[in-house]
Structure 1
C-alpha cells in the first residue's frame, strides 16, 4: 500500500489565476466508483494523460482526481513557455555530436506542443491563451552574448531556424535598451498557463469524470485492480497513472531520488502601453542558465510584465509566504535593472511554484509495477516535459509502443541523492553558486 504522508500545500494563487474570472470547481468524489483508468493529478501531465487516453479509446471510463482545484497547483504557476528546443544555451548535452539524442528530445517537446495546440484550436482560443509566437533568449552583457552565439552554432548543426538580434533590434522588441543581444526561436508556444489548464480540464469529453478537491490519501493493489482512497470515496481501476510530479515522493516512491526546487515569479500591475515602447506581447528566457525570465503580457486593462527568477531547495515540496517575499525583493532589483523607464510600477502578484528534479536530469516515466504508471519529474520544464510525460504514460498504459514511449524508455535511471544533511547543504550552495554565476543575466 502507498500511503500519502503529506498532501500538496500551496501559497497564494498565481497572478495568472487572479487575472481570470471565478470558476466553479467540479464536485469532490463521494462514494465508490469504478474506471478503466484512474489518473492522479490534473496538471499538465494528468490532463495530457486523460486527453490521450480519450483520443486513443473513446470508450474508456476515466477518472481524473485533483487534490486542489484546477490551476491552483504547479501548472497554473508556470511561466507559460512550451519550449521545443533546449533552452539552456550553454549546455554541452545538445552539441552536434549528440544529434540523435537531441532529435529525440526535440520530438518529445514538439509532441507536447502539438497536443497543447490541438486543444487550443478545438476550443477557439485566442492568442491571449495560446500564441505560437516563438521565444527570445536575451543577454545583458558579454557573457550572455557569448552563449547566444554559441547556441546559434549548435542550431546551425541541427539545421534549426533562428534569428539573431543585436542590441538595437531587441530594443525594438522589448522597449528597453538594457539588453545587448538576443536569439529568436520560432518553435516555442506561449500560453496563459492557468487559462489553458482550465480549458483543457473543462473540455474533456463525457468519458472523463473529473473530481476536484479530491486528494488521494492511499492506493494499493488488490487482486487485479488498484484501490484508490480519497477523503470521501474510493476508485477501483486496473490501471493508474500517477501524474503528481514531486508529490510522488509523499507516497514513498522515488525515495532519495527527487530534488524539490521552487522558482518564483512576480507580475506587475497594468500599465499604459505607451509607457514602454516595443511589442506589446513577447516572452524571453535568459541567455545564461539560472538567469531571469521576462514576459510582457498584453491585456484589455493595460499591459503587465512578469519577472521570474530565484531558486530555492526544500527537503519537502512546501514553501511559505516569507520565501515568496524574499524572492520578490530579488525580482524588484531585476525589474529595475531592465526597465528603468517604468520606475514606480508596482508588482501586484507574487508566487512560487514547485519543480521536481533528479540529480542526473532524467524523468521518472514508465511502469512502476503492474498497472501503475508514472508521469513525474519535470526537471524544470514543466509545461513541455510534463505534457509529454502524460502522453507517454497514457500510451504505455494502453500497451502502445511509440517513439515517445521509446524516448522515455531510453532515459537512465535517477541517481541516488546524497544523505542529509549533505543534500540540503549541497543543493542550496549549488543553487546559490549558479545564480551568482549568472550575474547580471
Structure 2
C-alpha cells in the first residue's frame, strides 16, 4: 500500500509540472492526482483527453506509472535490490511473494526475473505488430508509429486502458490487426504470471493443471465467450454500435467489447450509445475482472469461479468443495466469500454516495463506480462531469480496488489468530 501511495504521489508531482501539459500551464492538483492514481492503479479513467492535454513528457510519465503499477511497485523494488545487492533477504522475499502471488517461497528471485522478461517480451511483440500496422495501414511515419505502438502495447499488457485518441480505439473497430493484437495482450496480461508459466510448461496436459489454472482458464473462456454472445444479441441492430458493420466486423467488435471489461479500459464501440442490457453485462464482467495474479482488477475470476463451485457443492449436499481431483480448503472458500461480500458492499455504498453527489442516473453512476473499483476504466462519459467530491471518491475506489479489499483488511488485522477453544454449536435459519 505504501509503495502504491508513493508512486501516486510522485506521479502527481510530475504531472502537476507545467512541462507535463501541451499548454505549458499546470494541470491542477486534482487532475494530476486523478490521472496519476488511474495510471498507477492501471484503470484508464481520465478527466482530460490524454493526447490533447498532456505533452510527450506527461504521456511518458503516465506510461511509466501504469508500467510500474502493472508489474507491481514491490516487484520493481525487489528486482532493483537483487540487481544492486546481489542478495535477497527474508522480508524482501515475503514482499515479492505477496506482490507476484507466487504459491511457494522457493526461488522468488528467479520468478521475478521471469516476470520481467516475460512482460518485456510480450510488450515488445505487441509493440512491433502495432508499429507495423500503424505504418502500413495508416501511413504513420516510423517514429510516430513506434511511439504509438509502444505506448498502447504497454497500456494493453498492463490492462491500463490509456489511449492516445479521444475516442479510444473506435476508429479501429473493424481492424483485426489492431483489435486482436491488443485483445491478446490484455488477455495474457490479465491471466496472471503463475497461470501463464504453468500453461507454458504443461499446456498440452490439462489434467496436470493446478486448481488456480483450471479455474482461471475455464472461467476466462466462459466469460469472454458468453460476453461476446450477449453483446452480439444486444447490439446487433443498434445503428450507433454494431449496426453499420458487416458480420465479421460485428463479431470482432463484440469480442473486443467482451475482452475489455477484464479491466483493460479500451473501447472500440461508443459506450454511451450501448443499450442498458449491454451496460449491465459490462458491469458484471468488470466486477468479476481477470486473473488473481495478473494486472487486472475486479474480484478476480478465481474468486468468482470458486464461489460457483461452493454453490454447486452446497446444491449437491456435499460438505467438501472439490475442483478436479483437488479439495479446496475452507480458508480459501472464506476468503473468496469475504472478497465478494466486501466488494459488493463497497460498490453499493459508493454508488449511493455518488448518486447523492451527482444528477446522473443509477445505471450511469453504477457503471462508473464499478469501472473505478475494478480498475476497468470504461466510462459512460460522465466521469469528467462529476464534482470534485465525486472525483475524489472515484480515485479512492481505484486505489482500494487495486490493492484489494481483503488485502486492506489483512493489513489491519496483521495476522490470523487461532482460537484456543470452541463454543457450543447452534443451527440458525438461513434463507
TM-score by length of 2: 0.26
Between the two structures, name the one with larger relative contact order (CA 8 Å, sep ≥ 6): 1
- Please state which structure has a larger fraction of its residues in strand: 1
TM-score by length of 1: 0.25
- Please state which structure has a larger fraction of its residues in helix: 2
